[in-house]
Amino acid sequence: MKKKIAILVSLFFILVIWLAPVQLATGFIPKNGKLVVNGLQGSLWSGDVAQINFDSWQLKNIEYQLSFLTLLSMNVGGSAEIKGGDITGELDFQIADQSTAKIEDANLVLSAFHLEKYIPFPGVNLAGKLRTSNFSVEMFNQRPKSLSGTIGWNNATISAIGQNWNLGDFEVVWATEQKNERMIGTFVKTKNKLSIEGNIILTKSGKIEFVGSISTTTDRALYLALSIYANGKVSNGRLPIKYPR
């Protein structure tokens, strides 16, 4: 009899938690001004969010599903679909604590100009669409710890020093070297005017490096701009490039 009562009580509490309104979770949202969540509807496990603002990013009309099994492992995880705002698409997520988070199987689309604030070259404007395919990133203390999947830049356009360059398409496949604690993005051969080859190297500390080459047939003004990062002499119609030098 006691065993049956315990089972019924457990089922009751599970049902209460399952049907709990999502507004109960608002107390767990950090009040640091960087993250603002508006228009929560539904339950803790399934619902939608009208808008999320984080720093300068804005996401709209987000539908989510939380995983009960993930909660049993003392994590918060699930899936989400973002239908509007600066980023659109689908992803899975898992949050272990305030310092560790993971996004998996992300298939997202965003405009390239959103990344202008992150590039180290002032006065450079970006255009075109960035897309991720089966992309995963694990974050620790707001820095990437591992990367995998593909990032593409379609109809890539760069504007600087009064000129515009329509460069075509780029695609980078990411992998993580756990032994060396670094992430490497390899350029895939696509139709782009730089005919770029090489690797982007991202260390756990956040330092970024590019080692590769571009074609000498690149637009002259753009070629001269990139040649300040030359890493050797021209060979077989290609200029070795390294950033930073």
Confidence bin at 176 (pLDDT 50/70/90): very high
Q: What angle do CA 176, 181, 187 make, to 5 degrees?
A: 40
Mean pLDDT of 2-16: 43
For the stretch 121-148, pLDDT in tens is 778 899 999 999 999 999 888 788 899 9
Q: How many domains does the chain divide into? A: 1
Specify if 203 maps to a domain. Answer: yes
Domain region containing 215: 97-243
Check whether 27 has a pLDDT greater than 60. no
Distances (CA, A) of 76 to 71, 215, 228: 5, 47, 47
Specify if 75 maps to a domain. Answer: no
Pick from 134, 78, 136: nearest CA to 107: 134
Specify if 135 maps to a domain. Answer: yes
pTM given for the model: 0.82
Of residues 169 and 220, the one with the higher pLDDT is 169
Specify if 25 maps to a domain. Answer: no
Pick from 151, 167, 157, 153: nearest CA to 125: 157
